[in-house]
């Protein structure tokens, strides 16, 4: 009888051990399944989400950069008309060619506007310009700028001639007056004959060679010395 109880107790204990073993195995299997789910599903999904976040951040930075560039382009476009007008004014003032036909047209229009008569126009060959001590712009050199000596003879009322000279100095083409002489007209005493000399300037293409410009004042002094001698 006692033996049966022992055997029965051992069987119950064995059954309990088997149940515990089965529960442990089931728990282990569930853990394995959960880990497998992590590595096969959740972890890749998180990695994909992280990659997507990185991509969104990259796109955001790129878009921000493009927005800044676009804003600068918009700002530059607002100045386009102003810059174009300034460029047109500068190229008209000092062209990259002699531009003498246009300058002659400017002189003719100025003469008509001031009721004076053009008696003659002469233009010397271009010579390299040597900047004076007051010129501080490093871009203005003998290699970048040339000068052409211009002589203009006009007839007309004295006040009208002065207005014509003022127009020459303030016109679209830069004109530096270096000398002016007037005398009463031999036929019309109420008018004067005027001789105006000056310089217009031209941009020199890189690599071009232009003869040095002669200082008009020195040239006049030399000419006077020869006449006296």
What residues does each domain of the chain span? 1-78, 95-228
For residues 202 and 146, is the Cβ–Cβ distance under 8 A? yes
Residues 42-100 have pLDDT tens digits of 556 656 666 666 666 666 667 777 777 777 766 666 666 776 777 777 777 888 888 89
Residues 139-154 have pLDDT tens digits of 777 788 889 999 999 9
Tokens matching residue 218: 């020195």
Tokens matching residue 8: 């029965």
Query: Which class is 95-228 in CATH?
Result: alpha beta
pLDDT > 50? residue 215: no
Whether this prediction's pTM lies above 0.85 is answered by: no
Ramachandran angles phi, psi of 185, nearest 5° = -65, 135
Longest dimension (CA), the chain: 169
pLDDT > 60? residue 138: yes
Ramachandran angles phi, psi of 36, nearest 5° = -60, -40
Tokens matching residue 137: 């712009």
Separation of alpha carbons 144 and 138, rounded Å: 10
Tokens matching residue 74: 């918009």
Give the dihedral sign, CA 90/96/98/102. Answer: negative
């Amino acid at each position: 009888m006692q033996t049966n109880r022992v055997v029965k107790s051992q069987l119950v204990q064995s059954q309990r051990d088997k149940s515990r073993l089965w529960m442990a195995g089931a728990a282990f299997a569930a853990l394995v399944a959960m880990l497998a789910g992590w590595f096969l599903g959740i972890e890749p999904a998180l990695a994909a989400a992280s990659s997507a976040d990185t991509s969104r951040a990259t796109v955001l930075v790129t878009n921000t950069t493009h927005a800044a560039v676009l804003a600068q382009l918009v700002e530059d476009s607002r100045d386009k008309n102003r810059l174009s007008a300034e460029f047109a004014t500068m190229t008209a003032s000092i062209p990259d060619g002699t531009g003498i036909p246009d300058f002659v047209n400017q002189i003719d229009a100025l003469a008509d506007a001031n009721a004076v008569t053009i008696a003659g126009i002469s233009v010397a060959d271009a010579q390299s310009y040597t900047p004076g001590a007051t010129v501080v712009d490093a871009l203005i050199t003998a290699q970048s700028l040339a000068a052409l000596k211009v002589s203009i003879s006009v007839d007309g009322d004295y006040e009208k001639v002065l207005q014509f000279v003022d127009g020459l100095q303030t016109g679209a083409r830069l004109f530096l007056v270096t000398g002016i002489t007037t005398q009463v007209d031999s036929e019309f005493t109420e008018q004067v004959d005027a001789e105006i000399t000056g310089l217009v300037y031209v941009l020199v293409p890189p690599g071009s060679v232009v003869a040095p410009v002669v200082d008009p004042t020195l040239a006049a002094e030399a000419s006077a010395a020869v006449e006296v001698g």
